[in-house]
Structure 1
Amino acid sequence: MPEAHCTHCREPHAGTQFFGEPEYRRSLDGLQIAEVHHRAGCDVPRHAHTSAFVSVLLTGRYQSRFGNTVAEFEPGRAVWHEGGFDHEDSIAAGGARFLCVEVDDRRLACLRDYHPRSPASQTLDDRASFALLRLFAANRASDDDLSIEALGAEFLGLMCEPDCSADEGRAPWLDRVCDRITCAPGDRASLSELAAIAAVHPSHLARSFRARYGCSVGEYARAYRLTRAWHLLAGRRLPVAEVAYSLGYADQSHFTREFSRQLAIPPARARRLLRQGGAVLDA
């Protein structure tokens, strides 16, 4: 696996390519997967990685600084960095755990068939973050390599979608629709309500939303709810039933069914998995 490079000392760091303690390594076709644990708060010096990589925060909190961006991360949030791109991190007190995936140059070059430029360093949206959480759960469950690689390809497919954020013709009402979905996940909006907010017909909303985000309104909302659920479970504060109610589920069983269908583990087991740290997921 490629090594991290600290631009202050201009020498590769010995050992692993990531700071922290790497666990659960897996090498696939063009992908290197590791779960990385920082057991205490610390400042990670400015450094770069030879290969492009993505990380999703599983537990804890941290701040990352790259380019002109200063981003605060909570569990369930992810960031993508180009190969050779400098960044520095501050791990909060109590430490943090990450799933990190490196993408080698050959695999990244394949993306250019679909995406003319390599994805730039950026924080990622809920769909991409949730795809990585699914990859984490499958990796912990010791799924076969094909299943893991398919989930990795699904994530990379999201990275291939064209960036329409700067398009002059982008409908401004799409932002209002997304704000309504994410500002009150426990108070779910109907398609008719969202269309009224946008002042467009529901069918036009559905078509425009998929053209912009590559998914349906419902799929977008579900990814947001379940990424938020991961954050609440990682916090270890709320009972699972209260997590369900806060996200607008009719009851705990409804929440458990949807969470389990998407992540292949129930929420209570996911919480135990986060608490156990290095323990292998039970069958």
Structure 2
Amino acid sequence: MPEHAHDWPLLSLFIAGGYRNFVDEGALAIAGPSAVFYRRGDAHANQVGRFGHEQLEIEFDPAWLGAGALAQLDRPVRRIGGAVALASRRLLKLCQDPAATERGIAQALRSFLAHMATADAGPAAPAWLVQVESLLGTTPRPLANAELADRLGLSPPWLTEAYRAHAGEGLAEADRRHRAQQAVHLLRTTAVPVAQIAAATGFCDQSHLARVVKRLYGCPPTRLDPAHRQE
């Protein structure tokens, strides 16, 4: 997407896929739980990755949140992983809940933006995290946390907690997301039957794939490319 800006402040919450984000401060690769905030008029550009990119955008009138809600957000803010990412997943879930109220969303958004404004960018990804990310979604079947930890020579309980703290999601959740991204890419670019794609990407069956895809992308696999999906 070429450089553009928005007429209102905008918060982007990561769902799936990945992209490279460009603002005046530089480029940043985003491929996991994260949040990006732009003020009104902040110029930015996005280069979508191989597996596409799904996000929830909340564009709003600042008056909706009340005076001072954006006072500390004086530039584009990008936060990947850590406590902000964990909070972004909770906010995303709330926004997708049909029972959520406007007041509840406004309160949650105000709290989230205050957190985002004061949180630092965090340290660079440790070597073990890079190793974990390189394995997720690449094995014929999902690895149990203990199996993954054994491959890396780490304690399973430590890895489970440390990964969630650094990445903003659990290991099993991340593995399902990686597999769903691969499956959706195949659904959108090939005519391979859904059942075969489910098997090729490590899902138990077509129903399992359908549940995960609907949870992430908001629609069943058969809706992603109607021209090819006749089952």
**TM-score of the pair, normalised by structure 1:** 0.50
Report if aligned partners of 2:8, 2:60 keep a CA contact under 8 Å in 1.
Answer: no
Distance in 1 separating the partners of 2:94 and 2:225:
14
Q: Residue 59 of structure 2: SS of its match in structure 1? A: strand
- Trace 1:118-157 onto structure 2 (pairs within 5 A): 120-122=76-78, 143=98, 146=101
Shift of 1:213: 2.9
Question: If each structure's strand is expressed as a fraction of its own residues, which one has the higher value?
Answer: 1
Amino acid in the other structure paired with 2:199? Y
Residue in structure 1 matched with residue 201 of structure 2 by the alignment: 247
Shift of 1:120: 4.2
Shift of 1:195: 0.7
1:101 aligns with 2:58: yes
Q: Residue 101 of structure 2: SS of its match in structure 1? A: helix
Structure 1 unaligned spans of 5+: 1-42, 276-283
For residues 215-259 of structure 1, the C-alpha deviation after alignment (integer angstroms, 9 at most, x for no partner) is 321122223333443443333543322331232012223322443
Distance in 2 separating the partners of 1:57 and 1:66:
20
Amino acid in the other structure paired with 1:196? D
Range moving further from structure 2, 246-255 or 220-229? 220-229
Number of equivalent positions: 210
Amino acid in the other structure paired with 2:222? A
1:87 aligns with 2:44: yes
- The correspondence for 2:175, drawn from 216, 221, 243, is 221
Amino acid in the other structure paired with 2:10? A
1:66 aligns with 2:23: yes
1:166 aligns with 2:123: yes
Distance in 2 separating the partners of 1:103 and 1:79:
15
The 3 A distance-change label for structure 1 pair 238 and 110 is farther
Report if aligned partners of 1:81, 1:122 keep a CA contact under 8 Å in 2.
Answer: yes
Structure 2 unaligned spans of 5+: none
For residues 48-100 of structure 1, the C-alpha deviation after alignment (integer angstroms, 9 at most, x for no partner) is 54412428799xxx986433227799xx9998341132124689xxxx99864
Cα RMSD after superposing both structures: 5.2
Distance in 2 separating the partners of 1:221 and 1:70:
22
Shift of 1:175: 2.1
Distance in 1 separating the partners of 2:20 and 2:211:
33
Shift of 1:181: 0.8
Identity value in percent? 22
Distance in 2 separating the partners of 1:134 and 1:187:
31
Q: Residue 233 of structure 1: SS of its match in structure 2? A: helix
Shift of 1:272: 3.8
- Trace 1:231-246 onto structure 2 (pairs within 5 A): 231-235=185-189, 237-246=191-200
